Amino acid sequence: MQYGPFEEDYVEENYRYTEAETGRRYRRGDLTAAKPGGDVSYEWHGAKPYKGRYWAYSRENMDRMLAEGRIEFRKTGMPVFKRYLDEQPGVPLQDVWTDIRLHAGSGERLGYPTQKPEALLERIIAASSNEGDIVLDPFCGCGTTVAVAERMGRKWIGMDISPTAMRVIRRRMNRDHVYDFRIDGMPETADDLRKLEHFEFQNWVIDVLHGKHSPRKVGDMGIDGFSFFELDPIQVKQVERVGRETVDTFETAVRRAGNQKGYIVAFGFTGGAWDEVARAKSASHPLEIGLVTVADLLDNPLDSPLRANLPDMTRGLLELARTAAAKASFRQEPPRRKAEELAASLEAVPIGGVEDD
Ligand SMILES: C[S@@+](CC[C@H](N)C(=O)[O-])C[C@H]1O[C@@H](n2cnc3c(N)ncnc32)[C@H](O)[C@@H]1O
């Protein structure tokens, strides 16, 4: 049985007394009973049970409770039991829970819009599973369920359509020094990336570069994020060939933002786009624009040396990402567990039936 705290009104109304010496709140409880149980019709400190009733305890127990300070007397001389608020477990939980909230300034917050409080998942997991069981959250978002399941000694599986959610979960787990898990289905090829929803693609690029996401998702003059440390604007285009016009518009955005450098990331660029970059570099107020291809990002993973023949701007940007990764003491995922191992661990739990203890 799990309990929630009493409502304030309930406490005010029912626990009306406060012990002067300790400040503990208590309510008075009847010491008589309807049915006799042994020798319970005696006179005690000049008082007798109400008519037709009996003491609820033997004389010895009444004496002991008085000595322990658990009994006091009404003005009428009738003894009553002191039931302390801090000894009550609370209200047995019902199916509407209003006592758990994720507050605006909570340290738990990860910026995920629908994030749930950990205490809520703790309650659900404790009520519905035992240590060693598998917890499944098929819409796991930023991973509150799986993070709490891990902490509570459960195995877990999380699913989400969003690779961004998976990266948030990886960071959340690593922050708790949890590395022994595997993420499947992340975009790995240019084709995977072509299929992503636009914001997912944008998030992927900015995350790979360890950049800072633009606070606004739309209408930021095409600035989707900023490079690590130097905070130069980055525009992300999920198109095959970015042309001259896009570069030209981006130059204006970079100048307006007060930067001398900026980057566009896309699958490819036209000759006109490269010409525009050269023109901007030799203008009277020179501007450096890096045209970075998705292939450059995919071909230069953090755990291998940067490829030769990268354009200077791209090399610089990727080096910044590596510095950022090192700073965040980035740790690679442990080797993937073999499919058979995973299958075996799943078979250990009967699916569809949870046995009562
Ligand atoms: C309400 S959120 C979950 C929030 C989560 N409980 C938490 O505390 O972070 C719902 C999630 O479902 C995911 N989602 C939406 N459609 C989906 C689908 N078809 N398959 C898997 N996940 C999906 C969304 O990406 C979103 O992260």
Q: Ligand 1 mean position to 115 CA, how many Å?
A: 10
Q: Among the atoms of ligand 1, which is closest to the Cα of residue 116?
A: 8
From the number of C-beta atoms within 10 Å of its C-beta (0-12, 13-18, 19+), residue 18 rates as exposed
Mean pLDDT, rounded, for 2-19: 90
Given a contact cutoff of 8 angstroms between Cβ atoms, the answer to whether 233 and 259 are in contact is: yes
- The stretch 159-178 carries a mean pLDDT of 92
Distance CA 157, CA 154 (A): 10
pLDDT digits (tens, 9 = 90+) for 257-267: 999 999 999 99
> Could you tell me if 271 and 279 are in contact, meaning their C-beta atoms sit under 8 angstroms apart?
no
| 203-239 pLDDT per residue, tens | 999 999 999 998 876 556 789 999 999 999 999 999 9
Question: In Å, how far are 15, 23, 224 from 86, measured between CA atoms?
Answer: 10, 11, 53
pLDDT tens digits, residue range 131-154? 999 999 999 999 999 999 999 999
Q: What is the pLDDT of residues 331-341, one digit of tens each?
A: 545 444 555 55
Give the closest residue (by CA) to ligand 1 atom 22: 160
Instruction: Give yes or no for residue 42 CB within 6 A of ligand 1.
Output: no
**Can you give the pLDDT at residue 204?**
95
Q: Decide whether any atom of ligand 1 lies within 6 Å of the 247 Cβ.
A: no
Domains (ranges, CATH) in the chain? 3-91 (no CATH), 118-186 (3.40.50.150), 197-327 (3.40.1350)
pLDDT in tens, 118-133: 999 999 999 999 999 9
Question: What is the whole-number distance in angstroms between the Cα of residue 112 and the centre of ligand 1?
Answer: 11
Sequence-separated (6 or more) residues with CB below 8 Å from residue 26: 15, 17, 18, 19, 82, 83, 84, 85
